[in-house]
Structure 1
Amino acid sequence: MKVVNSKRLFAGALFSSLVLCAHAQGTGPLAVEDRSLPRQQAPAASPSSTAGVSTTISQDGLMVLMQQQQQFEEQIQQLNGQIEELRHELQIMKDAERERYLDLDTRINTLAEQGKTEQPDEQAEGNVDPEADRAAYKAAKDNLVRRDFDAAAKAFEGYLNDFPNGQFRAHAHFWLGQVYSNQKTPQNDKAMAQFQAVVDDYPDHSKAPTSLYALATMQARDGKVSEAKINLHKLIKQYPDASEAGKAKSLLDQLGS
């Protein structure tokens, strides 16, 4: 009887072991954390919601890039416009510079062709040696004909200082103004002062209309447009038959008279 009971106990224990093993194989091994704490899992996002967020982010980024591109294109257009304006202004300056040099070169050639036939504008006043007067002026003029502008400037300055009542003062003022404005480093203020001296002190001189026009053009280049317009109108009124009167009308049109 005892033997039968022992067999029954052994069979029950064996059956219990088999049940536990089967349950362990179905659930798999547990980690230490799994055995100590209950596992908490976040709910998985649905595919549709994830796709919607990605699409919104992509559209916002694209809009920012498009706005930046538009801003860059506008800035490039502005820079291109400024470059074109600078090119235009530079070309105008080059043309004006070339015209000024050609005009001076023509005048110098004319002066050289006159040579000894050039006559004084008026008789010298006071105790002035006419020969010394003529020689000083000729020396300055010879430097100008050689295109030695620095030497010519000093010579004309010396002539005007040494011969305050000289016979060639109007010519000297005019040529000194031309020299000042055509030096490597132009002295525009001094040049305009010389042209102004011809206009004020020798209004009936042959160089007066040319001096007045030269003065007006220099004032316009320096941004003194109002003063330039006044002198241009003065030129047209006082010297209507001079060739510079036509130039004055054209310049007034450019300045928006």
Structure 2
Amino acid sequence: MRTCRRALTVLALTLPLVAWGAAPVVDNNSGSGSSNSYPPAGYGTSGAYAGGGVSAPPSAQGQLFMQLQQMQDEIARLRGMVEVQQNDIQRMKQEALERYQDLDSRIGAGGAAAAATNNSQPGGGEINASGAPVAPASQAPAAGTETPDPAKEKLYYEAAFDLIKAKDFDKASQAFTAFLRKYPNSSYAGNAQYWLGEVNLAKGDLQGAGQAFAKVSQLYPKHAKVPDSLYKLADVERRLGHTDKVKGILQQVVAQYPGTSAAQLAQRDLQRL
């Protein structure tokens, strides 16, 4: 009996020690990052509650605002460039007009005499039965008032043509007229005479257009613009109601300038008459 009681006493003393030794020991200070740590991993690293020195990325609204601000700055810069270009174009147009006005003033009496000769064509640009323009021999190109200067001639011609591009037909007409008075023998004169006709046609001046187109073949018979000018002359005569003259001019274009675009158009128009 005494032996049994002693055994029970030893068992009662050892059981708590065994249970305590089996329980897991958790070290809260370890940096293992286990799921038992607090606060949970990832807490406070994103979202509205980010902290600990970690910055949040910019929001979509913020990015959109910055993009809009950049676009507004770029638009303002481009507007400034457009305004500068518009001012330059206007200045160039004004300079071109002033240049030709100065040219007219320096031509003087010689230029006035040439203008009177150019306007002496009878009947406002009459043509004969074959379609050739009727003009006295005195309408041959007069000598220019200055020594030929191809560079200067090119500058004047291009300035006049720029006025066509700007659709300033009144000033373009003045510019080409002044050019032809000063440089009637220029390599650009045939083109200038043709474009004077186009400008007058754009202005609605049919008489002036017809005279200008007729003078291309009369004054510059070897020029490449002759077929086009004759075809345009036929168009002007048609608009003026001179249908009896239209057919003769178109037949002349087809016969004398085969293979050109003007001849092809003239042939088409003849088939429609």
With structure 1 as the length reference, what TM-score do the two structures score? 0.48
Higher RCO (C-alpha 8 Å, min separation 6): 2
State the TM-score, normalizing by the size of structure 2: 0.45
Bigger share in helix: 1
Greater Rg by CA: 1
